[in-house]
Amino acid sequence: MPGVKELAYVVYEVSDLAGWEHFAAGLLGMQVSHKDAASIGFRTDEKAYRWLCTEGPADDLAATGYAVENDSSLDRIVEKLRGAGIEATEGDSALAAARKVDRIVITADPIGNRLELVTGFADAETPFHSDTVLGTFVTGAGGAGHEVLVSKGVGREEYLAFYLNILGFKISDFIVEEVAPGVVADVVFLHCNPRHHSVAFGNMPHPKKMHHFMVEVSDIRDVGLAYDRCMDAKQPFEMTLGMHPNDRMFSFYVRTPSGFSVEYGWGGLLIDDETWEVETLGRLSSWGHRPPEMVHDLLGRAPFTNMPPEGAR
């Protein structure tokens, strides 16, 4: 069944473009693709951009761009959307040029998230370069990374019907964990290529549409270096270093200037649909990923005063 092949890009509406430049380029190691008074873009590979920040008050996800293989596949998705009574609008040439794609169709999922279905997502005119990252960002067939969105009270059956039956995603797995007394995180993970998930949805209490976006690096050292850069810059953390049990990602979570988070990770699992079995796991993290206030409290009570004097070591 024709469907989307990758998460190509995301658009954020942000109130602090300069803060995002410092965060994405300075701390995470991305390359600025363009910058003007109203927007800034960031690259992680050969594509023209992967993140696009436009100025505005929302400080949240504005759109997700999903790449489709070709025009005929896009036409079939549009036919399914309209057949299900879902609006799908062909974007004009100006929007296509701004997004650097050949063709763009705008629709929305049942939660209200704007989706841009595109073909011909352009490469940049110059090779990707980062002064900071030792390895590379992991994109390729897996797309830009993954996003975890908040379901905002919309029933799972409704949004899964949209993503599975119309866009062609498949379920990877589920995680259900009571993260606090009476507070249950119930997350479903979906894939459209070998990356373990390109999108996930949770019922967690969260003020934003987006909980986090994940970028992956090829060199484990880059996780540690980015962790130190963010810590040295006093960038607020959501969770410290840890690993997930489903995609096996070794990562940390840091707050963006807009309040939602970025997961910065290494070693994500790839799915083979021929052998993959869907399961429900009981923990969001197999180890680590602790809230910074918990780590601060534990370290603050550690017996540092029992250490021998410097000259006695």
Which residues are CB-contacts of 136 (< 8 A; sequence separation ≥ 6)? 45, 128, 217, 218, 219
Q: Which 8-state DSSP code applies to residue 309?
A: P
Strands of the chain, DSSP E: 4-14, 31-35, 39-43, 51-55, 60-68, 89-90, 103-108, 114-119, 146-150, 170-180, 183-191, 199-202, 210-217, 237-243, 250-255, 261-266, 280-281, 287-288
> How does pLDDT run across 191-206, given as a tens digit for each residue?
999 999 999 999 888 8
Which pair of tokens denotes residue 101? 């794609």
User: In one letter, which amino acid is 308?
Assistant: P
Supply the DSSP symbol for 139.
Answer: -
Q: Would you state the pLDDT for residue 204?
A: 80
- Distance set, CA 161 to CA 73, 170, 203 (Å): 19, 11, 17
pTM across the whole model: 0.95
Give the SS3 label for residue 124.
coil
3-state DSSP assignment of residue 198: coil
Phi, psi of 138 (to 5 degrees): -90, 110
Distance CA 149, CA 208 (A): 8
Q: How far apart are CA 66 and CA 262, in angstroms?
A: 19
Measured over the CA atoms of residue 66, residue 68, residue 71 and residue 76, the dihedral's sign is negative
- Write b or e for each residue in 226-262: b if 16 or more Cβ atoms lie within 10 A of its Cβ, otherwise e: bbebbeeeebebbbbbbbbebbebbbbbbbbbbebbb
Report pLDDT for 179. Answer: 83
pLDDT per residue, tens digit, the chain (313 aa), is: 568 999 999 999 999 999 999 999 999 999 999 999 999 999 999 999 999 999 999 999 999 999 999 999 999 999 999 999 999 999 999 999 999 999 999 999 999 999 999 999 999 999 999 999 999 999 999 999 999 999 999 999 999 999 999 999 999 999 999 888 888 889 999 999 999 999 999 988 889 999 999 999 999 999 999 999 999 999 999 999 999 999 999 999 999 999 999 999 999 999 999 999 999 999 999 999 999 999 999 888 877 655 565 655 5
Please give the Cα distance from 114 to 61 (Å, whole number): 9
Which sequence spans correspond to the domains of the chain? 4-297
pLDDT in tens, 245-304: 999 999 999 999 999 999 999 999 999 999 999 999 999 999 999 999 999 998 888 776
Tokens for 245, please give them.
Answer: 């049990």
Radius of gyration of the chain (CA): 20
**Integer angstrom CA distances of residue 63 from 97, 112, 219, 283:** 16, 10, 29, 29
Query: The tokens 């964990």 sit on which residue?
Result: 177
From the candidate CATH numbers 3.40.50.1010, 3.40.1410.10, 3.30.1180.20, 3.10.180.10, the one assigned to the domain spanning 4-297: 3.10.180.10
